[in-house]
Each structure stands twice: as C-alpha cells, then as structure tokens.
Amino acid sequence: MGFKQFFIKHKGFLFLILFILEFFFLYGLIQRLLINSNVFVFSWPLVDDFIPFVPFFSVFYVLFIPLLILIFSFYWNSQKNFYKLSFTLFLAVTITSLFHLFIPTLILRPIILESNFFTGLVSWIYSNDLPFNLFPSGHVFYSLLSNLCLYSVDKNKALYLFPVTFLVCISTVFIKQHYLFDVLFSVLLSFLLYFFVYKKLKN
C-alpha cells in the first residue's frame, strides 16, 4: 500500500493524532516558551469580577475530555464523518495555537483558601495548566465545535449532549480559568469554523 492509499484510508486517525499532539504538547510548549513575554489581559472587570468563583464547576470542566471521546465514539463506523470531525478539530487546535503564539494572554486567578474536594480539583487543574494562553478557550472551542459537528450528523444525540457542552463551557469562567471574553470569542470561532468546513467544504 502506497503512502497516498494509506493516507486516504487512515486520514481520520492521522488528523486525530495531530489534534492530540497539538493539544497536549504544543499547547504546553508555547506556554513555557512565552512565560516571560509581554501578555494581554482580556478582562472586563465589571463583568468578570461579578462572576463568582464556584469550585463545584470543576467537575464539569474535567468532563471535557470524556465529552470529546464520547462524540468521537459516535463516528466510529463512519470513516467520512470521523475524518471530517478530526480534520475540523485539527484546524481548530492549529488556529488556537496561532492565537496563543501571537497573542499571549494571562488570567489572574483567585487564592484558594477553602479545603474540600472541589477546591482540591481546582487546585489540581491550576497546577497542571499555567495561567497563560487562554485566548481562545480550548475547552469552549473544541467542545462546542464537536457538538456542532455532531448536530450535522445526528441532531438528537447533539441535543442530548448540548447541556453537558454548555456546562463545560461555562465552567471555564466559574473556576476562573478563563475570562468571559475568551469564552465569547471561542463560541464565535466555533460557529465560523463549523460553517466553513461543513457548509463551504462540503466534501
């Protein structure tokens, strides 16, 4: 089997691997490369300061990966749809990486004084994710985009999962992992990329 035939047969998995590599490795690498650079703070004090810190929402924040895995599982028997979702998420993570590289941002996180399961989960999230490169939000961008992609294939499954997607998205501001502007811009990017791939690039 030549490379071209191999690529055509396995392109869905290849783009999925590229997405995973960018998401887990390039993201962290860019964070560490730009840790001492000048950064932007996209905070709206009158809005972001009004949003309370709710550690309980950390539970929904960590549902992000299981949500993506579940959505991918619906595509397992459709090579075409699996490829389209993988390719779309690869484009999304590449766009996100470019924003992180050229528009590095910072969030000012709260000092956690309480000690319970949920604050412990938030502390674990904070310790594994530096407060840099938050614009756009990967959690919002990838989860909403995946749900939109699923909607084009199976409206019922997408609608059932939308409440979980919504909770994942809003959890980012309630645990002070993102500012509201990060979230709103990520929502806009999700719809723009969805329409570009699924409406403009139909095949």
Query: Does residue 6 register a pLDDT over 60?
Result: no
Q: Is residue 37 part of a domain?
A: no
- Classify the phi-psi angles of 177: left when phi > 0, otherwise alpha if psi is within -120 to 50, otherwise beta: alpha
Q: Is residue 34 part of a domain?
A: no
The pLDDT, as a whole number, for residue 58 is: 97
Can you give the residue range of the structural domain that contains 50?
A: 45-200
Q: Is residue 72 part of a domain?
A: yes
Q: Is residue 6 part of a domain?
A: no
202 — pLDDT class (breaks 50, 70, 90)? low
Question: What is the secondary structure of 124-151 as a DSSP string?
Answer: HHHHHS-SB--SS-HHHHHHHHHHHHHH
Q: Is residue 179 part of a domain?
A: yes
Number of domains observed in the structure of the chain: 1
172 — pLDDT class (breaks 50, 70, 90)? very high
Higher pLDDT, 68 or 202: 68
Q: Among 143, 167, 184, 191, which residue's Cα sits nearest to residue 48?
A: 184
Query: Does residue 157 register a pLDDT over 60?
Result: yes
32 three-class SS = helix
183 — pLDDT class (breaks 50, 70, 90)? very high
Indicate the range of 52-61, 79-88, 135-144 predicted with least confidence. 79-88
Q: Is residue 36 part of a domain?
A: no
Q: Is residue 5 part of a domain?
A: no
